[in-house]
Structure 1
Amino acid sequence: MKIIIYVYNGITMLDAIGPYEVLRNMTGAEIYFVAERIGEIKADSGFIDINVKHSITDMKEADILVIPGSTIGFIEEMKKENVLKWIQEIDKTTKWTTSVCSGSMLLASAGLLEGLKATSHWKPINLLSDFGSIPTRERIVEQGKYITAAGVSAGIDMALFLANKIVGEDEAKAIQLAIEYDPQPIFHSGNYSNAEEKIVKIAEKKLSKDAKKGLGLLGLLKHSKEILKIIK
């Protein structure tokens, strides 16, 4: 089973590594990290790099496509015609096309989510409507072969959800045990609908700071329309 995880500069690393740790444990799984070009990819944190050995020109088909998200890097990716074309072509071969966090923006901008419900991180989720998708604040949204997950940590849930469909409940449960995924958060502020207003404002400030740092002044000017929707 060929699984492609597309990565790019500015990626939120857990968006990719969370699903990877689940999906790699499925029987028969072969996982490939693929980027626009072979070489080093930098995470949005600035602290982690990943050396990618496969480019989009090398990969023509997959059983599963995973598009991770990012704090702000997704905006640059969704304007790359060659990347969007590649996503469209890979999608023609997949059994499942999935995303984590703002990765759904890449699927939407590639025209794959038009008229479909989809989710994303709570901050940029409304951008989905710009591409004819229906923003839906749920942890996981399944629409045919398209599965979108909410922000960052939701990628683990999405991958387990997908594993259950592919290898069955027993193996999916065994994978969950193998990675000891037993979340017991000390706070119940991880869902936008449950978070206090003051907590939302603090989180927004952190995200806005990361967005501005990630793009710089030139990037902010270049992508002003999208940025305003995210950091305002």
Structure 2
Amino acid sequence: MPKPLQIGLLVFPNITQLDMTGPLQVFASHPDAEVHLLWKSLDPVQSDTPLFITPTMTLADCPPLDVICVPGGYGTDDLLADEEVLSFLRRQAENAQYVTSVCTGSIVLAAAGLLKGYRAATHWSAREALPMLGAIVSTERVCIDRNRITGGGVTAGIDLGLTVIAELVSQQAAETIQLRIEYNPAPPFDAGSPDTAPAEVLAIMQDRIKTAKKRRLKLVAEAAARM
């Protein structure tokens, strides 16, 4: 009997929970996968909502993974200089079949040196950070470049998970999971991208994130200088 796939998702304070729970639901729906929620300790971590997430395994105890996935959220800012996390990702990437991310998780992969020369996707508001760390920006919802698979913002996590299962197992396996979770999106508005959102909506969002974006780019520049 083949060994189950070992899949690990990083969790951390101020994570955007949907970045993680989207692919988690997909990965956990595959019958031949063991899925781990990874952090430095087993203490619950606060997401960017009232939801707390309890890790299931520490970084130190993590086995070699077939898939490592880094979700996003403003908590990724603090990971850019966290050598314990960056070293863990480098070690796992050496033998993983796929190194993956959702949203701004790709910036953490890039800060670890794992996206240099690779095309990668991220949240639309963070795209300019990737070239600073040696990556090539992709505007795809899910970007595949060799064994790096990166998803765009937040809701792309489900697409990322299904894409990984299709690559690892088969399209039929991915489609079976898609049917199980009834992933058949039909959004009520066409405002999910800066390319389609009304100009006034985009302006509101850009104003809301401008301070956090400025801080992130400063931290990215510092991370780039350390590489």
**TM (normalized to structure 1)?**
0.87
Q: Where does structure 2 lack aligned partners over 5 or more consecutive residues?
A: 222-227
In structure 1, what is the equivalent of residue 218 of structure 2?
A: 225
2:141 aligns with one of 109, 118, 139: 139
1:12 aligns with one of 16, 24, 49: 16
Whole-angstrom distance in 2 between the partners of 1:77 and 1:38: 18
Whole-angstrom distance in 1 between the partners of 2:121 and 2:29: 25
Whole-angstrom distance in 2 between the partners of 1:29 and 1:169: 16
Aligned 8 A contact 1:27 1:167 in 2:
no
Whole-angstrom distance in 2 between the partners of 1:19 and 1:27: 15
In structure 1, what is the equivalent of residue 64 of structure 2?
A: 61
1:95-106 mapped onto 2 (5 Å cutoff): 95-106=97-108
The answer to whether structure 1 residue 87 and structure 2 residue 89 are counterparts is: yes
**TM (normalized to structure 2)?**
0.89
Deviates more, 1:190-199 or 1:112-121: 190-199
Aligned 8 A contact 1:39 1:53 in 2:
no
Whole-angstrom distance in 1 between the partners of 2:177 and 2:71: 20
Q: CA deviation at 1:204?
A: 2.3
Q: Deviations over 1:15-35 (max 9, x none)?
A: 000001111111311000001
Q: Determine what percentage of the aligned residue pairs are the same residue.
A: 31
Aligned 8 A contact 2:132 2:220 in 1:
no
Aligned 8 A contact 1:60 1:89 in 2:
no
Letter in 1 for 2:85: V
The answer to whether structure 1 residue 51 and structure 2 residue 44 are counterparts is: no
Whole-angstrom distance in 2 between the partners of 1:208 and 1:48: 25
Letter in 2 for 1:3: I
Q: Secondary structure at the match of 1:104?
A: helix
Structure 1 residues 176 and 36 mapped into 2: Cα distance closer, same or farther (>3 Å)? same
Calculate the aligned-residue CA RMSD, in Å. Answer: 1.9
Whole-angstrom distance in 1 between the partners of 2:55 and 2:210: 28
Aligned 8 A contact 2:144 2:150 in 1:
yes
In structure 1, what is the equivalent of residue 39 of structure 2?
A: 35
Structure 1 residues 180 and 224 mapped into 2: Cα distance closer, same or farther (>3 Å)? closer
Deviates more, 1:2-11 or 1:134-143: 134-143
Whole-angstrom distance in 1 between the partners of 2:134 and 2:40: 26
